[in-house]
Amino acid sequence: MDSVLVARPRLLETLDTAPGRVVMTAPAGYGKTVLLDQWALTRPGEPTRVSGAELTGPLLDGIRATLHPSAAGPGTVIVDDVQDASTEHLANLLDLPLAPDARLVLSGRSAPRDALVRARMRRTITEIHGTTLAMTDAEITEILPDLDAAALTSLRELTAGWPAGVRLAALAWQEGANPRAFDGRDRLVRDYLQHDALATADADILTALRALSGFEIVDADLAREVADVNEATFASVTGGPWFLNPVDRRSRRYAWVPLVRQSLAYDSETASPAAFRARLARGAEWAQRDPERALEAVSLHIRAGQPAAALPTLRAELIPMFASGRLFELVAHIHALSTEDVGNPSLATIIAYAGVMTADVFCANEWTDAAEALWERDGFASTDDEAAFLTLRAHLSRSGLRQMREDADRALKIVSRQSPWRSPALLLAGSAAAMADDDAVALLDEAAHEARKVGVAPAEMLAAAERAGVAVNRDDPRAAALVESAVALAADEHWSVYPHSALAFALRARVRARTGDRDGALSDLRRAAGMRPLVGPTLPWLGIQLRVNLGEAAEILGEAELAQVVRWEAEELAGRLRDAQHLLPTRPAAEPAQYVITAAERRVLPYLSTHLSYEDIGRRLYVSRNTVKSHVTSVYRKLGARSRTEAVSIATGLGLFEDSTGHGVPLPDNVGVIQLNGRPHP
């Protein structure tokens, strides 16, 4: 596991600068031994290295002499496997007087808590735990240098930086495993846990770990009431080297290393599927009693095979989750639901809205279709229900701007004044009017007012941005002030994750660029451009507005590459809407291949000039053979090529390679064109 050495200077510095005594404890696979091997080489003289089981009276005398202030030189003592030391011997060791430059390092999977308490109170030890030993992104890329940003984030979250987990992923990918499918069920992970990391765990500890593995966050109450784990066993589980880390200072709740939990959960479910699902169901009922764990209850119900039981909580939490900026978390659980599980058209409408607001094309379209079918079957219970569905359909605008405006106008006509759907209806009616170059100011002002009154902040911020956009397009002297007001709303951290916030920053980039504030304009441009994946897939009309404003700002600032990309994207969106061509600049955007080739395809492109097979390319990029084949087929289509040789020749002629040997492409990843007809990607 440690054959590839990773430099970890930040940890070596911690060991060097820590005063006197260091206690380093973490589960197996955190690189403690290798780190100490590296550090020992930097110490003067030959460090004394012993195991915890060897800490007897005579050996303690020798260690005392090595570390004592009267010793000839700065002594270094490293005690490995400190979990095997007795509390008494460890306490005696920590009480030894040390020379100023001496170092005593105790390392192991755990340490007797009683022996550490007094040293903590006297502040004579520095403690290093798994959270500190976890790998950073830079350290992970030393092992897997070809990971793209998304894959790196995914692996870090899956492993929580656990070094053994990162290395196991690298080994699995070298053996041909699909990187996207790697998880705790992988044979390498299960073997390592069984024969190394968990090999010393008692039977009751293993039983408790498997019983708790169905839950991402555990505490003593859940352990007792749901998993039948008593308090003493739970204390042993959370106090030992079993991959559960406290999530708060009170150490009442513990979070798993996800990769380990997945592996244990797989074994537990395989051994007894019925018992595993029964625990999940009990956990869902238990979580429902705590409002803060409502999302967990939804997930557990679905995983337990009880989607119907999740629906009441799901419906109750959708709006609050949206209001707190956490809707993305909920949409992940919605994907586990089938439209057949939901027979309520109002709930289907709200679920579809969640897809719209998170740019989840599949969720938005599937649930909109389901809602429409259910409304046709059951009829609308009220005009407000009909208005809710009409505003959903207007947001998606799947039948073009004309139909969007008809839906929005109809919704505004029938919605009650007290309805929460009134502000979205006003916003959509105003936006549609503005895009038709009709008078929209009164509608947008009223939309912002109504949204503010009922606390629908996204509708307020977008209404303010649309109103500001009208002023900017008309060269209204109040435009700058209106833009600043819209940005003030869009900058709120709770709401900045939603597509509603992007337009305000694009407008300010445009205004600042016009007035010569280059630095400010570039800052806004980067922020708004970075939100492109969210704005367009489910809100094409807003996506066009965003890109048109970005394009003008980019052209003024001399950012020709970005200007070309966003204009091409705007044309693609307008083509999908069919009746939105009038929103585009009069000068059409070209479609050179460097703006169409995606970031993922650009990683494959240089390898086309080699003899490597799809499988060999996949190994180097840590993707599957089928993924490579898909990217190559797409590149051929976009370049109009029929072979590797022809693709390389065309790509070289278009300047897609920095030189004829095919190393890199000029378009940076954060500018690459957004895929607008499916799930977005940067």
pLDDT band of 375, cuts 50, 70, 90: very high
pLDDT band of 653, cuts 50, 70, 90: low
Range 9-133 has CATH code 3.40.50.300:
yes
pLDDT exceeds cutoff 70 at 595: no
**Lowest-pLDDT choice from 164-173, 179-188, 628-637, 672-681:** 672-681
User: Looking at residues 92-119, what average pLDDT do you find?
Assistant: 85
What proportion of the chain, given as a percentage, has pLDDT over 70?
92
Higher confidence at residue 161 or residue 57? 161
* Whether the Cβ atoms of residue 508 and residue 524 lie closer than 8 Å to each other: yes
DSSP character at residue 470: H
Q: What angle do CA 372, 378, 379 make, to 5 degrees?
A: 75
Structural element, H or E, at residue 488: helix 479-490
Q: Give the pLDDT confidence score for residue 656 in this predicted structure.
A: 65
User: Looking at residues 195-220, what average pLDDT do you find?
Assistant: 92
Q: For the segment 232-263, what is each residue's pLDDT rounded down to a tens digit? A: 999 899 888 999 988 876 668 899 999 999 99
Q: What is the pLDDT of the chain when averaged over all its residues?
A: 86
Task: Give, in words, the CATH class of 598-666.
Answer: mainly alpha
**What b/e readout covers 450-481, taking b as 16+ CB neighbours within 10 angstroms?**
bbbeeebbbbbbbbbbbbbbbbbeeeeeebbe
Q: Please tell me whether residue 620 adopts helix, strand or coil conformation.
A: helix
Q: Please tell me whether residue 212 adopts helix, strand or coil conformation.
A: helix
pLDDT exceeds cutoff 60 at 70: yes
pLDDT exceeds cutoff 70 at 677: no
pLDDT band of 528, cuts 50, 70, 90: very high
* Whether the Cβ atoms of residue 133 and residue 12 lie closer than 8 Å to each other: no
Q: For the segment 540-558, what is each residue's pLDDT rounded down to a tens digit? A: 999 999 999 999 999 999 8
Higher confidence at residue 110 or residue 679? 110
Q: What angle do CA 371, 374, 377 make, to 5 degrees?
A: 150
Q: What angle do CA 475, 478, 479 make, to 5 degrees?
A: 55
* Whether the Cβ atoms of residue 407 and residue 393 lie closer than 8 Å to each other: yes
Name the residue type at position 536: G
CATH number for the domain running over 355-583? 1.25.40.10
Q: Is the dihedral of CA 303, 308, 312, 315 positive or negative?
A: positive
Residues 6+ apart with CB under 8 A from 522: 509, 557, 559
Determine whether 53 is exposed, middle or buried from the number of CB atoms within 10 Å of its CB (0-12, 13-18, 19+). Answer: middle
Q: For the segment 326-349, what is each residue's pLDDT rounded down to a tens digit? A: 788 788 788 888 888 888 899 999
**What b/e readout covers 28-43, taking b as 16+ CB neighbours within 10 angstroms?**
bbbbbeebbebbbeeb
User: Looking at residues 659-682, what average pLDDT do you find?
Assistant: 37
Q: How many Å apart are CA 54 and CA 508, to the nearest integer?
A: 68
Q: How many Å apart are CA 375 and CA 346, to the nearest integer?
A: 8
Determine whether 296 is exposed, middle or buried from the number of CB atoms within 10 Å of its CB (0-12, 13-18, 19+). Answer: buried
